[in-house]
Chain A
Amino acid sequence: MSKEKLEYLINRNDNQYEVVIGLEVHAQVLSQSKLFSTSATKFGAEPNTQVSLVDAAFPGMLPVINEFCVKQAIKTGIGLKAKINKRSVFDRKNYFYADLPQGYQISQFKDPIVGEGKVILDMPDGQKEVGIERLHLEQDAGKSIHDLDPKNTFVDLNRSGVALMEIVSKPDLRSPEEVNAYIKKLRSIMRYLGTCDGNMQEGSLRADVNVSVRKKGSKDFGTRCEIKNVNSIKFMQMAIEYEANRQVDLIEDGQTVDQETRLFDTKKNETRSMRSKEDAHDYRYFPDPDLLPLEVSDEFIDQLQLEIPELPDEKKKRFIDQFKLTPYEANIMVSDIETSNYFEDVVKKSDVKLATNWIIGELFAALNEKNLEITDSPISAGNLSKLINLIKDGTISGKIAKTVFEQMMEGDKDPKKIVEEKGLKQESDPKALEALIDKVIDSNRDKATEYKSGKVKLFGFFVGQVMKVSGGKANPQLVNEILKKKL
């Protein structure tokens, strides 16, 4: 059954506008040292302690490229099902800014390392393919800190020279929801590959958002504005909404949209025009004469192909086929490589259906409450699967298991131990249960009679009593069976 297509449209008077969005995502490459220099890349170091002579652009310093960063870019390209360009060129992008010590950024302009590719999004109304235009390597800039001093800006060059992958999408996105899905998918792919940690709070992933609008049905593109450096998905969505509406208002008012660069003001929730840096756009790109063209062989690429792990799309298919998960469940399980690894560890030794429910239901809720990632889960996969097995083999009921689970969240204990220590084993001996049930029926003769004469609702009362008397440990299924027989 095909789902009805969901559309994000802006209505104004009698006109309907669709929004056309393209993203330029900047992803910091996971590597020990920087792209063209040998200083470290760790986040959060003391200012200017991860800066080499090359990073600070001292006279006579020269760039030397990091092989690992090249590999990371190619792997990402493979993950994006993109064309790997065996020959690519590094160009200088020339402009002046305090956090750009060279007075130019080494980037790739005409000949990037990766060409066209695609990303598949799983949207509620079906799959959507988003085209990738290209991916190239470039240097990150340092950080300008404006609020430490009223008259001066302080510059920290730790980030200057860190390798970035710039991933440019085709203008195929049409809504904030699609942008959300796209960023998450990109992030997931790179985390699977280990090429970028996708940590938006630390700035490892940021995006420039290109937004334009056009009347629904039109094939022409409207003038687009670029919203620079948005560092959270939520802000991207807000920025798109604001900007699209702003543009529609202009058009409806008979005005034209100026092509410009804008910033998203996170306090006012609006985009505003960047104070025009006059000729900031004339970057005077030319091939960097300190570097030669980069050439990689088929063997080099083939070797990297072997290192590619199972990616989200493939894993999702396999989870559906192998574990009979629903597409919804599979989506969740593969959204994150750590989650998928955890899931597979759990189902190695325990029931898939239970595992799925416990992970998606209980575990995620508990982790969210404590603001933890699955990698920091207090409950190991091994112990969760033990818990599930205890339910499966009848040692404890599902309800008791929740209590045990809570205990486990406080510190990774073996559920078997918890059950023993707290005496939580459920009572499954039919003889013992019969004895309990007889007792309960005896103490409630009048209600038993009422039940037998038709008041079926009282069944629950009896179940409750049995549970109470047994301290919650009676095996619910057996209680049901035996009660039915006895009443």
Chain B
Amino acid sequence: MSDITKQTLSELVNNIKEKKLSSSEITQAFVDRSEKSKELNTYITEDFSNALDKAKKFDDNPKLDLKLPGIPMAVKDLFCTANVRTTAGSKILNNFVPTYESTVTQNIWNEGAILIGKLNCDEFAMGSSNETSFFGNVQNPIDKNLVPGGSSGGSSSAVAAQLTPITIGTDTGGSIRQPASFTGTVGLKPTYGSCSRYGIVAFASSLDQAGPMAQNVQDCALLQEVISSYDQKDSTSIDFKRNLYSKELTKDIKGKKIGIPKEYRVDGMPKEIDDLWQKGIEYAKDCGAEIIDISLPHTNYALPTYYIVAPAEASSNLARYDGVKYGFRADGENLIDMYEKTRSEGFGAEVQRRIMIGTYVLSSGYYDAYYLKAQKVRKLIKNDFDEAYKKVDAILTPSTPSSAFKIGEKTNDPVSMYLNDIFTVPVNLAGLPGISIPAGHDSKGYPLGLQIIGKAFDEQNILNIAYAMEEKINFKNKITDWWIK
């Protein structure tokens, strides 16, 4: 069968189940393509030979009733994978090999999938362009020297370039949805508490969620079905009845009420984004949905809130990286010297910046003015959504305020970089599910995404809306394989 790597996950799964393809054939195809694509720099760690061994083992004893039988998959290097190096994109974990597996990836392997490698990301998931990784930038397959978004930049790039049929990323302020939008792919951030955080290198505990990054909504739904589970090892994991997202996927969204929040029409919003949003509204109507204007009054306060809460939690979560138990250690004359040198040399500039912000906003004299205040505003933001959801079933917004920008374009301006997350951050603050689907191109020909935000635990609904709109939009990603010589 030609062009194995051009197939969707669902097609590959079908072909394996129908014995038209073997795991070895599929895995070899993705390995070959990945080998040719090093210029994209999507991989931090390749596990190709192990993957081929596992594929062969699978073929010797195929379990075809599993959901991802013999499917090769690369995952973001934030998920701890047993015996495979896990770096979180950082020098401080450059040599770290976990002896344990994250729950989310274990769920994936339990359904028959095979790890092919660990994907590049912004260091400790802090960034929106994959430019803070210790392992270098990632190229967006859309065009040379374009950022793929971040922090799950390696993931979005790998999926768009078809180096892996599907992958998982993590999303704290938009790190799945924004890179999906930049690369013309689909990215879902589930409801907080839907996927276990056990074994995921923590960034901001009250915001982090793992989620699927795929080429289409159906594939995304299938992977969500696999990764979402109640985990007793994570105290923030929620025990609720999870749908069989792919089985229950439907395009019938007649009568669904979709809210359009006026506050998302921000100052200086590029016309192209606004036009795309309008188009999206029309597509939704075509699908039979009812469009309702709503207000989320505290939208403009979401980014400042996020840039207090996330760094605060991160400053504490990253305190364990001290060179004592694992990871990089610099020589020091005494304990404090060792700590300071280890962390200054081991962490990159963005991570250090955020740790400093976080430490400051929690420090004596500033806690009330910053951290406590931010947690109160967060309540207001959540209340906005709760109010809105009395009137609507889902909310439609653009995913990002622009298409992908050039590598290096925003690295000197932290605030301008932070503004990338303006549409995605409120969703994390409220703990709601959000999905980005590619919806069009800008004048440069770069992809743009639309975001559908749902009620808590209502992933099925936003997947359905996305599925319906996807068909109407009929988006075609323009990947020219420019990096393959």
Contacts and interface: CB of A to CB of B under 8 A. Distances in A.
Given A58-B98, A59-B86, A103-B316, A286 B367 contact: yes
Nearest to B205: A289
Contacts of B335: 98, 153
Count chain B CB atoms within 10 A of each CB in A63, A96, A155 and give the residue with the most.
A96
A64 to B, nearest CB: 5
Nearest to B124: A59
A60 B325 contact: no
Nearest to B365: A282
Contact of B198 (A60, A153, A281): A60
Contacts of B316: 92, 94, 103-104, 284, 286
B235 A62 contact: yes
Contacts of A57: 320, 325
B363 interface: yes
A148 interface: no
B319 A96 contact: yes
Nearest to A64: B235
Interface in A261-299: 281-282, 284-286, 289-292
Nearest to A51: B325
B283 to A, nearest CB: 37
A60 B339 CA distance: 21
A59 B96 contact: yes
A10 interface: no
Contact of A59 (B93, B315, B319): B93
Given A103-B316, A282-B363, A58 B326 contact: yes
A101 B324 CA distance: 8
A53 interface: yes
Given A59-B86, A60-B200, A102-B319, A286 B324 contact: no
A290 B235 contact: yes
A101 B233 CA distance: 19
Contacts of B98: 58-60
A308 interface: no
B312 interface: yes
A56 B322 CA distance: 12
A103 B236 CA distance: 21
Contacts of B201: 59-60
A96 B322 contact: yes
A65 interface: yes
Interface string A113-157: 000000000000000000000000000000000000000010100
A62 B198 contact: yes
Contacts of B325: 56-58, 101
A60 B233 contact: no
A103 B102 CA distance: 22
Contact of B233 (A64, A155, A292): A64
B232 interface: yes
Interface string B224-256: 000000001111100000000000000000000
A96 B339 CA distance: 9
B276 to A, nearest CB: 35
Contacts of B202: 59-60, 290
Nearest to A56: B325
A275 to B, nearest CB: 11
Contact of A103 (B204, B320, B336, B362): B320
Contact of B235 (A58, A63, A92): A63
A48 to B, nearest CB: 10
A56 B371 CA distance: 28
Interface string A52-72: 010011111111110000000
Contacts of A53: 99-100
Nearest to A282: B364
B235 A291 contact: yes
Contact of B102 (A60, A98, A102, A282): A60
B206 interface: yes
A289 B233 contact: no
Interface in B357-408: 359, 362-364, 367, 371
B214 interface: no
9 contacts: A58-B325, A60-B197, A92-B316, A96-B336, A281-B364, A285-B362, A289-B236, A290-B202, A291-B236
Interface of B: 80, 86, 88, 93, 96, 98-100, 102, 197-202, 204-206, 232-236, 312-313, 315-316, 318-320, 322, 324-326, 335-336, 339, 359, 362-364, 367, 371
Given A60-B202, A102-B319, A292-B235, 13 more contacts: A53-B100, A57-B320, A58-B98, A59-B80, A59-B88, A59-B96, A60-B201, A94-B362, A101-B325, A284-B359, A284-B363, A285-B362, A286-B371
Interface of A: 53, 56-65, 92, 94, 96, 98, 101-104, 153, 155, 281-282, 284-286, 289-292
